[in-house]
Amino acid sequence: MDAATVNFIGKIRTPYKTTTDCPGQARPENGTARIELNEEMLPALKGIETKRHLQILYWLDKADRSILQCVPRWAENGEEYGVFSLRSPVRPNPIALSTVKLLSVEGTVLIVSALDCLDETPVLDIKPYIDQLK
């Protein structure tokens, strides 16, 4: 199989309009984000309010898919690394995964701790975060 089809289930609303605005990592001090799901996803949210943390899979639709190596922001010596060893948004399949704290649920809108993505980034999936170390 050479290709797959996915359906976006909503979009993420953040204050970041350009990649230079966007923080390098999602951190609580970066505020909150809204995940606005499509109305037909409402039944899929049943029980989500009982979860403290969620894993959000999203599609970095503005990312350059041709770049396989880049210099991370933290690299003081300017050395390039392969994108599979980084959380860089540029990659062959720009799928991002972040664990967030669920703050509230308002219909098909989830208010979560900060996400490090551009405004209106498409959402692929949402899963509950389960800490296996409990």
Query: Residue 12: inside a domain, yes or no?
Result: no
Virtual torsion, Cα 34, 7, 94, 89, nearest 10 deg: -10
Residue 2 lies in a domain: no
Give pLDDT, residue 12: 97
Select from 122, 126, 117, 121 the least CA-distant residue to 30.
117
- Any idea which residue has 């498409």 for tokens? 122
Q: Assign residue 118 the CATH number of its domain.
A: 2.40.30.70
As for how many domains the chain has, the answer is 1
What pLDDT is recorded for position 116?
A: 84
Domain-embedded: residue 111: yes
In a domain, 120, yes or no: yes
**Does a structural domain hold residue 59?**
yes
Residue 4 lies in a domain: no
Domain contains 5:
no
Supply the pLDDT for residue 56: 97
> Environment class of residue 115 by beta-carbon count within 10 Å: exposed (0-12), middle (13-18) or buried (19+)?
buried
The domain containing residue 51 runs over which residues?
19-128
- What pLDDT tens digit does each residue of the chain (134 aa) get? 788 899 999 999 999 888 777 666 666 667 799 999 999 999 999 999 999 999 999 999 888 888 899 888 778 888 888 889 887 888 888 899 999 999 999 999 999 997 888 999 999 999 999 876 55
